[in-house]
Amino acid sequence: MTRVKLVTLAIFAVGVSALMTTDLAALEGAALVKQRQSEMKQMSKAFKAVMPILKGENTNVMDAMPSVVTWHTNAKKIAANFPAGTGRDAVPDSRAKPEIWSKRSEFEAAAAQLAATAEKLIAATKTNDISVFRAEFKEFGQACSGCHKGPVKEGGKFRFPKQQ
């Protein structure tokens, strides 16, 4: 093979490799977005089990433990679930705002605060005292608001509103 053909073949191989790597990264980013969205949905669903306790319809605070553990487990993963390259520009299904990366330290602090309040909520749940639980739950709810507002359809500091 002539030298020109070898160089051309090498350039072609590098180009194909780069395209495959880019597609693979996008695929991995999309999978991570689906995973973090699934974990956020788990956190949202966990509220349903806690509502009867907050309303006083169920006085056994320990019934909230599975929800509280879900919140704590998933909250600890939030910052890691938002690596660079998983925003809306790379994964259109993402609702993550660019502020997650442009204000990274603020985002990580909010995620850490959520995990810390979820940990306190575990301790409050173990007391099986509804007033202690409600007080800590209020703190947890405020920490949730550190990234977004209320229901999933609303946006917030770090997420876009859900498209109807």
**In angstroms, how far is CA 100 from the centroid of its own chain?**
11
Task: Report the Cα–Cα distance between both ends of the chain, in Å, rounded.
Answer: 59
Residues 29 and 81: their CA atoms lie apart, in Å, by 10
What confidence category does residue 93 fall into, taking pLDDT thresholds of 50, 70 and 90? confident
- Residue with the two structure tokens 């090498």: 10
**pLDDT for res 33:** 92
Distances (CA, A) of 160 to 49, 67, 142, 148: 26, 25, 19, 9
What confidence category does residue 24 fall into, taking pLDDT thresholds of 50, 70 and 90? very low
Mean pLDDT score, 92-121: 94
What confidence category does residue 30 fall into, taking pLDDT thresholds of 50, 70 and 90? confident
Residue 49 has pLDDT above 70, yes or no: yes
For the domain bounded by 3-144, which CATH number is listed? Answer: 1.20.120.10
Question: What single string gives the DSSP state of each residue in 76-139?
Answer: TTTGGG--TT-STTT-TT--B-THHHHTHHHHHHHHHHHHHHHHHHHHHHHHT-HHHHHHHHHH
- Average the pLDDT over each of 15-29, 83-97, 121-135 and give the range with the smallest value: 15-29
Residues 137 and 147: their CA atoms lie apart, in Å, by 16
pLDDT in tens, 73-82: 999 999 999 9
Mean of the per-residue pLDDT values of the chain: 84
pTM of the model: 0.79
Phi, psi (deg, nearest 5) at residue 33: -60, -45
3-class DSSP state of 159: strand
Domain ranges of the chain: 3-144
